[in-house]
Structure 1
Amino acid sequence: MIYLGVALAEIFACIAFWMWSRRGRSIGWLVACMVSLLLLAALFTQSPPDVAWRSVWISGALYVVAGIGWKWLAERRRLEQRELIGGGLCLCAIAMILLAPYDA
């Protein structure tokens, strides 16, 4: 659960900063970005050191999903076949890395 929290905090921080810097939203978005980054750091330090790398891979998977979802839902643009195939390949590769047995 820590890994998912780290990934979501990182993605939210990026979106919040984007809303403030590119969309001209209030300073509250910048504050939300900073709070989210603090949460990210706090959660990441709770990860066991020998498996903290998993949060980076989970963040990558969420970025793939968020990118596809953003184009489809926020921009209301049709997804191209290559985007769906490429996103699927990325998620399969990440799943292979995360699910592979590792020596402790």
Structure 2
Amino acid sequence: MKLDKSPLWLAPGMVCLALFAYLLTLIESNVAGRAYAAYGGIYIIASILWIWFAEGARPDRWDVVGACTAFAGTCIILFAPRS
């Protein structure tokens, strides 16, 4: 295993991935591409949090800037007024 961690870390990782996939199905969007784009932004944030809490590597400012930028894009995609 990477980082000499226990294989037991696979279980919470798989649960998180399944949860993300399930939450993607809850997004009300008539265009699947929008839902996948929004999922991408959420996935980036979750990945940064995983690095921090599961792997013990504190994100640097560029990780935070990138995650916030992705989240802003996600919000624009999900909540922008559409005609």
TM-score, normalized by length of structure 1? 0.49
Aligned to 2:3: none
Structure 1 counterpart of 2:38: 58
1:52 deviation in Å?
2.7
Match of 1:67 in 2: 47
Q: Identical aligned pairs, as a percentage?
A: 26
Aligned residue among 73, 76, 80 for 1:96: 76
Could you list the structure 1 runs, at least 4 aligned residues long, displaced by more than 3 angstroms after superposition: 46-49
Q: Cα–Cα, structure 1 residues 100 and 50, in superposed 2: closer, same or farther, change >3 Å?
A: same
Structure 1 regions of 5+ residues with no counterpart? 1-22
CA contact (8 A) 1:57 1:98 kept: no
| Amino acid of the structure 2 residue aligned with 1:58 | A
User: In the TM superposition, what whole-angstrom CA distance separates every residue of 1:30-79 from its partner, at most 9, and x where no partner exists?
Assistant: xx79xx5xxx5xx85x9877333332123112211111111100110111
- Unaligned ranges ≥5, structure 2: 1-5
Q: Does 1:76 align with 2:56?
A: yes
* Matched-pair contact (CA < 8 Å) for 2:52–2:59: yes
Partner amino acid, structure 1, of 2:53: L
Quote the Cα distance in structure 1 between the aligned partners of 2:48 and 2:57.
10
The 3 A distance-change label for structure 1 pair 89 and 80 is same
Q: Contact between 1:68 and 1:79, CA under 8 Å: does it hold in 2?
A: yes
**TM-score using structure 2 length:** 0.59
Larger radius of gyration: 1
